[in-house]
Amino acid sequence: MDSESIVYGCIKDVTEYHQDGRRREINRQAMLKLPKSEEWPFISREMFAIPTIEIHPDNYQTEVMHFGASYKAVEYEWSQWMKQFETLLDSMYWVSAVVHLETELSGTHTFTWMSKNNGHIPGAGKQQIHCEWTHEVNFL
């Protein structure tokens, strides 16, 4: 039996600078353009809690777009998963993103992307982005 991998995290964007909802609409459309899960992509539309376009008073300063999925040993194909995720990020407005990968065999990994500017702008060409990862292993 193959081991299970859990992937979850969030993409964050700043709300106080885009009260017109344009950035929010572009991000929403990027997630809605993802393939459906039955097409077996690594990144699918169903794994995202796609936010509405409306700006709610309970959103303080950060728009949080969260996601999660369960896979069969996705760590063996992790470079493909990351490539698809970074393609999605390239098509969105965002300030930071975090992905947690929990595996039965190789522990927990956390990947973090931070925009060096005031946020990533889709289609703006090469931008300054910082990405780092951490690894945690529990020995019993």
pLDDT bin (cut points 50, 70, 90) of residue 37 is confident
What average pLDDT does the chain have? Answer: 83
* 8 A C-beta contact, residue 121 and residue 129: no
Predicted pLDDT of residue 116:
77
Whole-number percent of the chain with pLDDT over 90? 44
The reported pLDDT for the residue numbered 81 is 94
d(CA 114, CA 46): 25
- Per-residue pLDDT at 132 exceeds 80: no
Domain boundaries, the chain: 4-136
Torsion of CA 59, 23, 45, 84, to 10 degrees: -120
CA distances from 126 to 22, 35, 90 (A): 22, 25, 10
Mean per-residue pLDDT for 16-32? 80
Residue 139 has pLDDT above 70, yes or no: no
- Distance in angstroms (rounded) separating the CA atoms of residues 1 and 102: 17
Q: Read off the pTM.
A: 0.85
